[in-house]
Amino acid sequence: MYGAAEFSRDTDLVILADAGNLVRLRRALADLQAEVIAVPPFQAKHLRRGHAIHFRCRHPDLSRMRIDVMSRLRGVGSFAALWRRRATIALPDGFSFDVMSLPDLVRAKKTQRDKDWPMLRRLVEAHYFQGRDQPTAAQIRFWMLELRSPDLLIEVAQHYRSACERAALRRRLLRHAARGDRPALEAALREEEAREREADRRYWQPLRAELEQLRRQRRR
């Protein structure tokens, strides 16, 4: 969708967890013969707390596709903010659907999971290669803040020096990129990733404790 292909049998949904939306979601899940496969149960309070609800589709046409539903994500703001920044994808048959903006998707991928970081890097690189010939100011700022390839960061930082100076106030490792100091830049990128992983671990720590409590209650 954003140019970094990865096969997946999962579908991730981010929804507004209000009463009307949940009624519509339950109807859609019933059509898919989807069942909850783990804790927590499908309740609005768990979505609003920040948990994901995991479903497995039993419909014969869906090959046991998994659906993960969330209402809150770390680091991307409220659902209202996500909705304002969304992208709409139009298909040849006239059908269209809304997806998270690329900047929000990249921020959401900054987790403690090893598999997310290579995908995050590929997403931003694909965006860079698609738009680098005639970039907008917004695109240049996005690359400054999110590129993870040392070579590409050096290229962008040295080509757009004024933008780099402004972005470096938020992402200090750009100063290494502007100087072409690859070893220092690589070390700073590793440190940046480690900080994000730790922030994600802290975010999920109380939620994991709640999940474990729900598991114990279910076993009683």
| pLDDT at residue 3 is higher than 60 | no
User: What are the pLDDT digits (tens) for 81-135?
Assistant: 999 999 999 999 999 999 999 999 999 999 999 999 999 999 999 999 999 999 9
Tell me the one-letter amino acid at 82.
L
Is the pLDDT assigned to residue 186 strictly greater than 80? yes
To the nearest whole number, what is the mean pLDDT of the chain? Answer: 94
14 strand-pairing partners: 70
* Residue-level pLDDT at 2: 64
Dihedral over Cα of 146, 149, 189, 203: its sign = positive
Interval 199-205 mean pLDDT = 98
pLDDT for the residue 189: 99
User: What residue spans define the domains of the chain?
Assistant: 10-72, 109-203
Q: How confident is the model at residue 50 (pLDDT cuts 50, 70, 90)?
A: very high
pLDDT at 136 over 70: yes
pLDDT at 14: 96
Question: Is the per-residue pLDDT at 42 higher than 90?
Answer: yes
70-77 average pLDDT score: 94
* Burial status of residue 8 (CB atoms within 10 A of its CB: 0-12, 13-18, 19 or more): exposed
Give the three-class secondary structure for 204.
helix
Q: Which of 97, 65, 80 is nearest to 15 (CA)?
A: 80
- Amino acid (1-letter code) at residue 24: R
